[in-house]
Structure 1
Amino acid sequence: MPTRMDRHPWRLGPRGQRWLDRLLVGGLLLLALGHVVAGQLGSTVFSVLEVVPLLWRRRHAWPVFLAVAALSAAQAFVVDEPTVGQLAFPVAVYSVARWAPRWQGVTALLVGYAGAFVAAVRWILGFGAGELTAGNLSPYVVSIGAIVTAAWALGFAAQSRENYVASLVARAEQAERMAEREVELAARDERSRIAREMHDVVAHGLSVIVIQADGARYAAAKDPDVAVGTLETISTTGREALTEMRRLLGLLRDGDTGVAPQPGLDDVRHLVDEARAAGTRVEADLPSAPVDVPDGVGLAAYRIVQEALTNVRKHAGPGATVQVRVAVGREVEVEVRDDGRGAAADSDGHGLGLVGMRERAAVHGGTLEAGPVTGGGFAVSARLPL
């Protein structure tokens, strides 16, 4: 898989850029030695002064261009022959078009055209190429102007390409960050979903097992037959909880887990029977026939009833009666009400049951209300749209 650095085009690093500029300046100065050999002191001085600023052309393109342009204008009045230093002018124009703001690049191009005319005049006069006429002047102006235009066009194209590549890289990095964020959110949602499932399965199964175990302990001394039946209920509940746990762990693996499917709305009746077997008095008002509802909604309703019954066993107290009602119309209505301790029930404040039930309802666009009711007891009421 390509890394982020692989998406960047190859380019010289800072050190390579410095050495390239040094080689450019050194090559031009080497050519300027011809003026020294010819004894042209003025041409030598101007060549050195025009070429040396190119060392800073990348970071200070506009000041370097202004310096080279000013020296080129002064040279036109002091020296009447072409010099090697004049090669620095198109390089400075390129640098401005490449690294400076757009308006500075356009200004440099216009200055270059004016300089082409001045240079053409001085060259004609310096070479003694006849009279200063339009016919003699045009070839020089066009030739020098073409060099300036080419330098500006190359710099402009390089700047445009760099901006385009930078925008592509920025968009790619933004897309990568968004993809990573989506993966992180999906993983967090999946962890929350599995945490809710595990809480419901473990809390429900263990609450039944604890209650049955307490009952079996007291019944064993007086009626061993009752203890045997209670232990059988404990065994069945433990196996069912283990099966559900295997299914949840199977969600973390690829492929078929080979375990039972997730429970649905029709399995609420099993929860009621299980609660009754555990000694809880339950009055149930459930659909008389199987109901076809979306799997997600059915699972949410099942888990809400399961968690509500678990809370009744944990907090309502002995002798509490529970009313469970499930109705299906344009939405699934779930209500679990008990006449136990209600607001007086003990709680450590660390439970996740109500939080998980509200999250389940919210996932399907539903609502859930839970709290003590007038006259004692506790009620959980949920509505899940279909």
Structure 2
Amino acid sequence: MQHPSPRAPWQLGPRGRRYFDRLLVAGLLLPVLVIAVAGTDPWWTILGFAQIVPLLWRRSRPLAAFAAVALASACQVLVIDSPIWSQLAFPVAVYSAARFGTAAGAWTALGVSVLAAAVATVDWSSSLSLTWARLLPNFLSISAIVITSWALGTVGRTREAHVATLLDRAEQAERIAEREVQLAAQDERSRIAREMHDVVAHGLSVIVVQADGARYAAAKDPDVAVRTLETIGVTGREALTEMRRLLGLLRSGDSGVRPQPGLGDLPHLLDEARAAGMDLEAKLPDPEQAASVPEGVGLAAYRIVQEALTNVRKHAGPAAAVRVAVEVGREVLLEVCDDGRGAAAPPGDGHGLVGMRERAAVHGGSVQAGPAPGGGFTVRARIPR
């Protein structure tokens, strides 16, 4: 099941934010224009524009916008000793400095705001008696407004940072999951490639050997040719069945129904090699021991023996004698030796030896392959159970 990609919470886009800020500034300026038309003190209009217009840059330059609004508010103290409409821009600027600026800028804006609240309290109360009973409630009320604006902006900034962190982690987890799926698919493709190589190489090597023998025997003994052709047919059908099973693994809803071969199938594999003319001696575990081996280990052992016999047909020569020994204990020990002419290519060329080592390594085992001291080639494998 594919999970949906993580999404950020809905918010206005760049264009929407620009329009919102313009409407905010226009809405705050509208009463200023009405006051100007009414013919009141011109300072109301001048300070109104000075305090409100900087909000257009409250997102891109939050601290500079706050500084401009704070400076205009400080100028107000010098010319007007009462609150005016445009001072609503001050808490908006405080919020913007905390919301869109840095933490240091937000704390600076808070300090300036509390100081401005104290100055405004004294300025607006100049006509009254300056007593703590009158000043303190006013100071607390003004401070509460700017502190609330600062707190809302700070919460918004930290929430956005937290959401960004969560989204980054979710995207990273999604990338890791996709990578794991890709690696699993790659491993599966490699496994199927090894299976196909083992099946095709083994089947075709038997068919080629039998076909060559039948060609030479046909002229002297037609009965031998008939038996050889029968072996070719049986081998071809078995290889075709294995190919169909492997291709079934690649189809959706079809995993193949034929059981995987194991140690119990080695006698049939060796009989098939003898029927193809190989001089083969074998020492195998009894059926009860073979049945006690886990399926995965048994399959790996079977494929290693199968590939080793295929290499004997390819490289050892027609007169090579082969000895196969399999022991089952705490580990499955395999040995396939021949007295032929040895490998025709250096170890590591092709897929056969690589596939053997990979199969053993999956189960924590190992494969050693190389020329034997007295001639020929030896493959030894150790696979823990």
Q: Per the alignment, do residues 39 and 289 of structure 1 end up closer, same or farther by CA in structure 2, a change over 3 Å counting?
A: closer
User: Equivalents in 2 of 1:81, 1:154: separation in Å?
Assistant: 27
Q: Which amino acid aligns with 1:296?
A: G
Are the counterparts in 2 of residues 286 and 327 from structure 1 also a CA contact under 8 Å? yes
Normalization by structure 2: what TM-score? 0.93
* Aligned match for 2:149, one of 148, 151, 163: 151
Query: How far did residue 3 of structure 1 move?
Result: 4.2
Q: Can you list the C-alpha shifts for 1:58-113, whole angstroms capped at 9, x where unaligned?
A: 12111211222222223212332322332211111101111122232122122211
Specify the alignment match of 1:271 in structure 2.
269
Are the counterparts in 1 of residues 337 and 377 from structure 2 also a CA contact under 8 Å? yes
Q: Which amino acid aligns with 2:33?
A: L
User: Equivalents in 1 of 2:63, 2:255: separation in Å?
Assistant: 69
Q: Which amino acid aligns with 2:350?
A: G
Q: Per the alignment, do residues 38 and 120 of structure 1 end up closer, same or farther by CA in structure 2, a change over 3 Å counting?
A: farther
Q: Can you list the C-alpha shifts for 1:259-300, whole angstroms capped at 9, x where unaligned?
A: 431110121122211111111111212113432100000000
Q: Per the alignment, do residues 300 and 12 of structure 1 end up closer, same or farther by CA in structure 2, a change over 3 Å counting?
A: same
Q: Per the alignment, do residues 187 and 277 of structure 1 end up closer, same or farther by CA in structure 2, a change over 3 Å counting?
A: same
Q: Per the alignment, do residues 256 and 46 of structure 1 end up closer, same or farther by CA in structure 2, a change over 3 Å counting?
A: closer
Specify the alignment match of 2:340 in structure 1.
340
Q: Can you list the C-alpha shifts for 1:326-373, whole angstroms capped at 9, x where unaligned?
A: 111110011111111225x25798621111111101111111111222
User: Equivalents in 1 of 2:285, 2:380: separation in Å?
Assistant: 17
- Between 294-303 and 185-194, report the one with greater CA deviation: 185-194
User: Equivalents in 2 of 1:341, 1:96: separation in Å?
Assistant: 84
Specify the alignment match of 1:183 in structure 2.
181
Specify the alignment match of 2:113 in structure 1.
112
User: Equivalents in 1 of 2:25, 2:4: separation in Å?
Assistant: 37
Query: How far did residue 165 of structure 1 move?
Result: 2.0
Query: How far did residue 257 of structure 1 move?
Result: 5.6
Specify the alignment match of 1:374 in structure 2.
373
Specify the alignment match of 1:20 in structure 2.
20
Specify the alignment match of 2:384 in structure 1.
385
Is 1:324–2:331 an aligned residue pair?
no
User: Equivalents in 1 of 2:203, 2:132: separation in Å?
Assistant: 104
1:163-182 to 2 correspondences below 5 Å: 163-182=161-180
1:189-208 to 2 correspondences below 5 Å: 189-208=187-206
- Between 250-259 and 145-154, report the one with greater CA deviation: 250-259
How many residue pairs end up in the alignment? 381
1:200-239 to 2 correspondences below 5 Å: 200-239=198-237
RMSD: 2.0
1:80-159 to 2 correspondences below 5 Å: 80-125=81-126, 128=127, 130-159=128-157
Are the counterparts in 1 of residues 249 and 256 from structure 2 also a CA contact under 8 Å? no
SS at match of 1:59: coil
SS at match of 1:180: helix
Specify the alignment match of 2:70 in structure 1.
69
Are the counterparts in 2 of residues 246 and 259 from structure 1 also a CA contact under 8 Å? no
Are the counterparts in 2 of residues 35 and 41 from structure 1 also a CA contact under 8 Å? no
Please list every run of at least 4 consecutive aligned residues from structure 1 whose deviation after the TM superposition is greater than 4 angstroms: 254-258, 346-350
Unmatched runs of 5 consecutive residues or more in structure 1: none
User: Equivalents in 1 of 2:311, 2:103: separation in Å?
Assistant: 71
User: Equivalents in 2 of 1:281, 1:159: separation in Å?
Assistant: 81
Q: Which amino acid aligns with 2:184?
A: A
1:247-266 to 2 correspondences below 5 Å: 247-253=245-251, 259-266=257-264
User: Equivalents in 2 of 1:2, 1:276: separation in Å?
Assistant: 54
Q: Which amino acid aligns with 2:68?
A: A
Q: Can you list the C-alpha shifts for 1:138-159, whole angstroms capped at 9, x where unaligned?
A: 2321221111122112112222
Are the counterparts in 1 of residues 32 and 85 from structure 2 also a CA contact under 8 Å? yes
Specify the alignment match of 1:161 in structure 2.
159
Specify the alignment match of 1:305 in structure 2.
305
SS at match of 1:4: coil
Unmatched runs of 5 consecutive residues or more in structure 2: none
Query: How far did residue 258 of structure 1 move?
Result: 6.4
User: Equivalents in 1 of 2:295, 2:64: separation in Å?
Assistant: 71
- Between 141-150 and 210-219, report the one with greater CA deviation: 141-150
Q: Which amino acid aligns with 1:246?
A: R
Q: Which amino acid aligns with 2:312?
A: V
Q: Sequence identity, in percent?
A: 64
Q: Which amino acid aligns with 1:57?
A: R
Q: Per the alignment, do residues 286 and 243 of structure 1 end up closer, same or farther by CA in structure 2, a change over 3 Å counting?
A: same
